[in-house]
Structure 1
């Protein structure tokens, strides 16, 4: 796993673990894994479209469980109505929750709506619901969800 990301433990000795970017699994998500090139096991959330694709082509699943580390990295998408100071208010809400912003993208407004994508480092995965609530409470924000990259192929 990346330094500072949740530690997933796989039932495959010597394999290195990579958390899938398409569904950004965090504890306590139910997860499964697939062996890919180079002795790497990619870990996906059970509901991820990539899991269905892998199963449909006959890829064998590898058992995965979460280790003791509670710190995790997650990608959230905030949908909002455009207004002055919105970005500042959103990043402040995230900071007040004690969460580090690893990266952020703000798409240009479309029909007065703005999509913000944040990759965040949480000190504890259990804090995710409170963080999402705090972001939804920012005036103008009407939805906050975990990122789901439908088009991402399993690497």
Structure 2
């Protein structure tokens, strides 16, 4: 039931949130009717939607977010930081304080900086803004943003 979306004029249609753009309320969204997988819900500004050919545009349908407040949505974030002892603990404390489950994480070094990719579950864009602001306040964090 994660990612509840209402397809205008249709009941009980299978929907999935696009992995390429990870839409989250209140992002403007659009549905793409697939062959055999139902409707994939993308952010309206998703590059995959913007680059559709004429045939692809014919498969777009109107969708909207549900008003169910108990639904959570996965969102990917990128944190770039300068290494220090306790950095990962401090990042984890922000997610814990904000009561946001971490469902995936990986890290790498890039030109001396640490790059952390997290997938967290949020209820709405306000949760995301609050979390990103808290992450930016952590010592040695250079940037924190939605992917």
Q: Please give the TM-score of this superposition, normalised by the length of structure 2.
A: 0.87
User: Which position in structure 2 is the counterpart of 1:87?
Assistant: 88
Post-superposition offset of 1:9: 1.1
Q: Residue deviations 1:68-125, cap 9 Å, x none?
A: 2233221111111122221111111111111111111112x22221111111112444
Aligned CA distance change for structure 1 residues 53 and 124 (closer, same or farther; 3 Å)? closer
Residue equivalent to 2:119: 119
| 1:7 paired to 2:4 | yes
SS at match of 1:84: coil
Q: CA separation of 1:114/1:17 partners in 2, compared to 1, >3 Å: closer, same or farther?
A: same
Question: Which residue of structure 1 lines up, in the alignment, with residue 18 of structure 2?
Answer: 20
Aligned counterparts of 1:8 and 1:81: Cα–Cα separation in 2: 39
> Unaligned 5+ residue runs, structure 2?
none
Calculate the TM-score normalised by the size of structure 1: 0.83
C-alpha displacement of 1:33: 1.2
Aligned residues between the structures: 142
Aligned to 1:143: 143
Where structure 1 has 5 or more consecutive residues not aligned to the other structure, the ranges are 148-155
Q: Tell whether 2:49 aligns with 1:48.
A: no
How far, CA to CA, are the matches of 1:68 and 1:9 in structure 2?
A: 9
Q: State how far apart, in whole Å, the 2-side matches of 1:57 and 1:138 are.
A: 46
In structure 2, distance between residues paired with 1:66 and 1:23 = 16
